[in-house]
A and B are shown apart, each in its own frame.
Chain A
Amino acid sequence: MNDDQLRELMSSRDPAASLPPARPERVARLLEDTMSPDVQTPADQRQEADPRRRTPLTWVLAAAAVLVIAGVGFFALNGGEGRQPTATPPSSEAPRTVLHLTAPPPTQGRCAMVTARLLGNQDSAFDGTVTAIDGRSVTLEVSHWYRGGDQDLVVVEAPDPEMQALIQSVTFDQGGRYLVSATDGIVTVCGFSAAYSDDLAAIYAEAFGA
């Protein structure tokens, strides 16, 4: 079977083949809704309607679905140190997908200014709420991925002193909403990951798009 025949075979099973074109009035309505100011996107609505209640089962499932994606180090400070990556792809059977990140080692480096250009170099970025903190890890429930993942939870883990430094630099609080970015499995500190604010959200939006 040559390429053309293969393409033709696939086209013959196109699920959208029987989809009629959108009616003109529907298109007009869609355009008007899009361009009207203060439009609420379905994503906004979902986010606002996002229930905060969680059952104990949720945590059991979260614990059962541990997937490790840690990585080699780069972060926006001088003196970031490398780590060996241990990565597994998300499993379709896992009831909740989890991305594991680590904290950078404590450093004396100076911080660069947070800009969309620098932020845009990070390979993962999300908006999430802290659901659990202990001495070695912070768990966040993701409400929106800007880049690099579709996991439901992110667990930031690190040995004690480093975790303390991270918690201090990002000041994670239980129930707080955060914008977090990371590269090669290491959370970017120095203001690049911080409590949610409209200003930082605007920089995230500029760096990553919606």
Chain B
Amino acid sequence: MRPVAEVVDDARRERFESLAVTLIEPLRRYLARRADPTTADDVLAETLLVCWRRLEELPGDPLPWAYRVAANCLANARRGVRRQERLAAKVAVVDPPASVVPGPGDTEAPDLDAALAALRDEDAELLRLWAWEQLTPAEIAEVLDITPNAASIRLHRAREKLRAELGARKGDRPAGHEESDEGSRS
């Protein structure tokens, strides 16, 4: 008969494997949106290790919890990179990746990148979690360690701010571009 510890260990490994396969893809995407490929790989490995070590603490829906771990690991990685840059005067490597290059049909799309960049980091991150990770306010609350109520209110305000920024950018366009309908009506 095999020792009890070994059987327990196997069960734990199985449990982790079944959970991890559901976490890996969303985490890879989360990190790809926020870090260069090398850092994303490092932080993914680190995040999985934390999940493995704290397997017993994982909540029923582990993804928001895992995003939070990834966010912490990423913050530490960024800090490490800042230190390296200062010591070696290197070029930044933890820049967020460039957004998808607009195709030919996108030239009229409002300047989302600039509008997002104009928001406070906290607001932009809320919107990313909402639109890119497709999280609900309750899930966002768990990732950011705030109350669901606060997440709802902040998300609502962040959307309003983004709309205002997008509107302001539309307004900046050359005269006649947006107002052409009105002009032709009279």
**Which residues on the B side are within 8 Å of A42 (C-beta)?**
42-43, 45-46, 77
Q: How far is the CB of A63 from chain B (nearest CB, A)?
A: 14
Roughly how many angstroms separate A110 CA and B24 CA in the complex, as a whole number?
A: 47
Known: A11-B132, A27-B24. A35 touches B13 (CB 8 A): yes
**Which residues on the A side are within 8 Å of B20 (C-beta)?**
31, 34
Is A14 a contact of B86 with CB atoms below 8 Å?
no
**Which residues on the B side are within 8 Å of A96 (C-beta)?**
82, 86
Q: How far is the CB of B178 from chain A (nearest CB, A)?
A: 14
Is B100 a contact of A41 with CB atoms below 8 Å?
no
A94-110 to B contact mask, C-beta < 8 Å, 1/0: 01110000000000000
Is A14 a contact of B100 with CB atoms below 8 Å?
yes
Known: A95-B86, A209-B50, A209-B54. A19 touches B32 (CB 8 A): yes
Q: Which of B53, B76, B132 contacts A150 (CB 8 A)?
A: B76
Roughly how many angstroms separate A34 CA and B44 CA in the complex, as a whole number?
A: 10
Among A1-9, A72-80, A161-169, A192-200, the stretch in contact with B: A1-9
Query: Is A145's beta carbon under 8 Å from chain B?
Result: yes
Q: Which of A22, A43, A145 contacts B46 (CB 8 A)?
A: A43
Roughly how many angstroms separate A51 CA and B83 CA in the complex, as a whole number?
A: 10
Q: Which of B29, B53, B131 contacts A10 (CB 8 A)?
A: B131
Smallest Cβ-Cβ distance to B53: which chain A residue = A210
**Which of A3, A51, A209, A210 has the largest number of chain B CB atoms within 10 A?**
A210
Is B53 a contact of A3 with CB atoms below 8 Å?
no
Q: Which of B53, B80, B163 contacts A46 (CB 8 A)?
A: B80
Is B49 a contact of A39 with CB atoms below 8 Å?
yes
**Which residues on the B side are within 8 Å of A17 (C-beta)?**
100
Query: Is A173's beta carbon under 8 Å from chain B?
Result: no
Q: How far is the CB of A142 from chain B (nearest CB, A)?
A: 7
Main secondary structure of the interface of B (DSSP, over half): helix
Roughly how many angstroms separate A210 CA and B72 CA in the complex, as a whole number?
A: 9
Known: A15-B98, A41-B49. A10 touches B132 (CB 8 A): yes
Within B87-128, the residues touching A (CB, 8 Å) are: 87, 96-100, 106, 109-110, 112-113, 127-128
Roughly how many angstroms separate A39 CA and B159 CA in the complex, as a whole number?
A: 42
**Which residues on the A side are within 8 Å of B87 (C-beta)?**
51, 54-55, 58
Roughly how many angstroms separate A33 CA and B46 CA in the complex, as a whole number?
A: 11
A38-73 to B contact mask, C-beta < 8 Å, 1/0: 010111001000010011001001000000000000
Is B159 a contact of A6 with CB atoms below 8 Å?
yes
**Which of B30, B33, B80, B166 has the largest number of chain A CB atoms within 10 A?**
B80
Q: How far is the CB of B101 from chain A (nearest CB, A)?
A: 10
> Which 8 residue pairs are nearest across A and B when measured between Cβ atoms?
A10-B131, A42-B42, A16-B29, A16-B32, A210-B50, A13-B99, A34-B48, A150-B75
Residues of A within 8 A of B (CB): 1, 3, 6-7, 9-19, 21-22, 27, 30-31, 33-35, 39, 41-43, 46, 51, 54-55, 58, 61, 95-97, 142, 144-145, 150-152, 209-210
Residues of B within 8 A of A (CB): 13, 16-17, 20-21, 24-25, 28-30, 32-33, 42-46, 48-54, 69, 72-73, 75-80, 82-83, 86-87, 96-100, 106, 109-110, 112-113, 127-128, 130-132, 159, 162-163, 166
